[in-house]
Amino acid sequence: MGPVTTLDAAARALPLLDLTSLNDDDTEERIAALCARAVTPAGSVAAVCIYPRFIPVAKQLLENKGVAIATVVNFPGGGASAAEVAGETRAAVAAGADEIDVVLPWRDFMAGERTVPRDVLRACRDACGDGILMKVILETGGLADAGLIEQAGRDAVAAGADFLKTSTGKLQPAATLEAAAILLDVIRDCGRPVGFKAAGGIRDTAGAAAYLHLADTVMGPGWATPATFRFGASGLLDALLADLGHGATGQKPSSGY
């Protein structure tokens, strides 16, 4: 194979994108604009990722468009109880969410607590039911320590995670290649299909390409598909489209993603 071009990388990354708006001041109008951006001249993104209150408007606008609706629970702090997380999850699924991005109680995890994080994730898993993806946000920038990140990833997989996700995008550092490498190693060795999501701070094609190259190296070429690999981002879409020759798609999002 020859060298990967910017065009190749952008074309590969776009269908892996969870186009995200998780701003405290989001409005239905802003989410409608996000949904309009999700179907592009170069194809559709994998999902939009929004707060639960916006699921109905997104569901209406994206019906039959081939774009999944992802939402967040226990977000961003990770401090809710298992019962609260179960309730949030059930409500989001009932409203039409296809994917649940749940925050691991990472501060408890850092403090040595294992039962509470496990119970929260299992409650979310049970509330998701069949057919709903559970993406576990580990907040790797908060955990910081490689050993903790690895153990959190293993515990999330044991609790039923369908994806391991780096970050909320609300804490710095967000996604890093170092954390991604640890989580991809966990996924490779876990014995069942689990996906990976890099979220926060990935804003250009070169950045996306670095994560895809890492996934190719650890998991093998061709592993990264929308079923196994996502980018959580807001500004990345415009960069990808520009590199694909389609110019900008409108307003620049203000999210930390």
Report pLDDT digits (tens) over 88-130.
Answer: 999 999 999 999 999 999 999 999 999 999 999 999 999 999 9
Active-site amino acid positions: 101, 165, 197
Q: Which amino acid is at 169?
A: G
What pLDDT, on the 0 to 100 scale, is given for residue 252? 47
- Measured torsion, CA atoms of residues 172, 186, 19, 204, in degrees rounded to the nearest 10: 60
**Does the pLDDT value for residue 2 go beyond 60?**
no
Which residues, 6+ apart, have CB-to-CB distance to 198 below 8 Å? Answer: 165, 166, 175, 180, 211, 230, 231, 232
**Does the pLDDT value for residue 255 go beyond 90?**
no
**Does the pLDDT value for residue 1 go beyond 50?**
no
Q: What is 6-243's CATH number, 1.10.10.10, 3.10.50.40, 3.20.20.70, 3.60.140.10?
A: 3.20.20.70
Q: What is d(CA 38, CA 237) in angstroms, rounded to the nearest whole number?
A: 9
Report pLDDT digits (tens) over 199-238.
Answer: 999 999 999 999 999 999 999 999 999 999 999 999 999 9
Taking a C-beta distance cutoff of 8 angstroms, is the pair 182, 149 a contact? yes
Question: What's the pTM?
Answer: 0.95
What pLDDT, on the 0 to 100 scale, is given for residue 4? 74
Q: Domain map of the chain by residue range?
A: 6-243
Mean residue pLDDT of the chain comes to: 95
Mean pLDDT in residue range 54-70? 98
Report pLDDT digits (tens) over 148-162.
Answer: 999 999 999 999 999
**Does the pLDDT value for residue 251 go beyond 80?**
no
Report pLDDT digits (tens) over 5-33.
Answer: 999 999 999 999 999 999 999 999 999 99
Report pLDDT digits (tens) over 175-194.
Answer: 999 999 999 999 999 999 99
Cis before residue 221, ω within 30 degrees of 0?
Answer: no
* Torsion region of 120: left, alpha or beta (phi above 0 gives left; psi -120 to 50 gives alpha): alpha
Q: What is d(CA 19, CA 45) in angstroms, rounded to the nearest whole number?
A: 7
What pLDDT, on the 0 to 100 scale, is given for residue 148? 98
- Measured torsion, CA atoms of residues 148, 149, 150, 156, in degrees rounded to the nearest 10: 100
